[in-house]
């Protein structure tokens, strides 16, 4: 494993499960568990333990994608929850060859997930404040295959996207303008907090040559596993509705063999 250098990032984790994302610098790291010199880490490999001034120990780890996402992103507008991110990436079949078009970027939480697994991502954001947050968060994540654009997705000129994802008000108004950007056989996902927006999107998708329309939401219930095994009283319920569909262009004579 490559030795740690000044300027590298690391996760330092206490046995309690608390962890910190840090830049390796010539300074003292302070926490509720005591302090230690970060210079002692330089030149060493990840996976080693270091004692603090109070006798506590920290394990130094390579940050993974989830570490970077949860500890380096600046929060702005409400993010799409991980449970919904999983549904979107799975039902849209997103992988290493997929070209994704997205609106809006927001805090770039979903955008970052997409950039981590897709070939390329173009994300549009109309809100200037959100655009600045999203752009900075993508920079922090180091995702060179993601481009964030300021403005309306309807300005996009690309015509060969495999997937389009819409997280925006009045998605039905955008759907009728962006079929030109989607490959035949491409997929679309629409995320909406309200059922009225979702049903309007479904009607527009149906009128524009989309098939295999799926309308659902994802709910999560965690379980207690300490004193007894039982569902937790509180659960993560509604976050948003998801609509999925696949595009088939209406046939022209030249398309028929």
**Confidence class of residue 14 from pLDDT cuts 50, 70 and 90?**
very high
Verify that 83 and 172 share a domain, yes or no: yes
Torsion of CA 82, 79, 139, 181, to 10 degrees: 90
Q: Is the pLDDT of residue 254 over 60?
A: no
CATH number at residue 163: 3.40.50.150
In a domain, 233, yes or no: yes
Verify that 102 and 224 share a domain, yes or no: yes
Verify that 48 and 72 share a domain, yes or no: no
Verify that 132 and 173 share a domain, yes or no: yes
The number of domains in the chain is: 2
By residue range, what is the domain housing residue 39?
9-63
| pLDDT tens column, 30-88 | 999 999 999 999 999 999 999 999 999 999 999 999 999 999 888 888 889 999 999 99
Dihedral sign from CA coordinates of 54, 44, 138, 168: negative
Q: What is the CA radius of gyration of the chain?
A: 22
Q: Which of 63, 84, 108 is the last residue of a domain?
A: 63
User: Considering the entire predicted model, what is its pTM?
Assistant: 0.89
Verify that 57 and 155 share a domain, yes or no: no
Can you tell me the mean pLDDT for 200-226? 94
| pLDDT tens column, 99-151 | 999 999 999 999 999 999 999 999 999 999 999 999 999 999 999 999 999 99
Q: Is the pLDDT of residue 249 over 90?
A: no
**Confidence class of residue 236 from pLDDT cuts 50, 70 and 90?**
confident
**Confidence class of residue 178 from pLDDT cuts 50, 70 and 90?**
very high
**pLDDT score recorded for residue 46:** 95
């Amino acid at each position: 494993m490559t030795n740690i250098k000044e300027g590298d990032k690391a996760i330092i984790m206490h046995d309690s499960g608390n962890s910190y994302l840090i830049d390796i610098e010539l300074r003292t790291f302070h926490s509720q568990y005591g302090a230690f010199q970060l210079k002692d880490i330089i030149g060493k490999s990840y996976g080693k333990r270091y004692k603090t001034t109070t006798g506590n120990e920290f394990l130094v780890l390579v940050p993974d994608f989830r570490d970077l996402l949860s500890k380096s992103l600046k929060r702005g507008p409400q993010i799409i929850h991980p449970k919904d991110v999983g549904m979107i990436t799975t039902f849209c079949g997103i992988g290493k060859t997929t070209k994704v078009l997205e609106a809006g970027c927001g805090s770039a939480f979903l955008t970052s997930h997409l950039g981590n697994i897709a070939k390329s991502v173009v994300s549009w954001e109309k809100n200037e404040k959100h655009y600045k947050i999203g752009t900075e968060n993508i920079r922090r994540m180091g995702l060179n295959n993601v481009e964030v654009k300021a403005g309306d997705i309807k300005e996009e000129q690309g015509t060969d996207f495999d997937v389009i994802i819409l997280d925006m008000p009045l998605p039905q108004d955008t759907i009728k303008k962006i079929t030109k950007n989607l490959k035949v056989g491409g997929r679309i996902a629409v995320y909406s907090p309200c059922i009225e927006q979702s049903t309007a999107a479904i009607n527009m998708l149906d009128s524009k040559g989309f098939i295999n329309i799926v309308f659902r939401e994802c709910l999560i219930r965690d379980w207690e596993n300490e004193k007894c095994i039982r569902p937790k009283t509180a659960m993560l319920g509604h976050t948003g509705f998801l609509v999925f569909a696949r595009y088939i262009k209406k046939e022209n004579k030249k398309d028929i063999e």
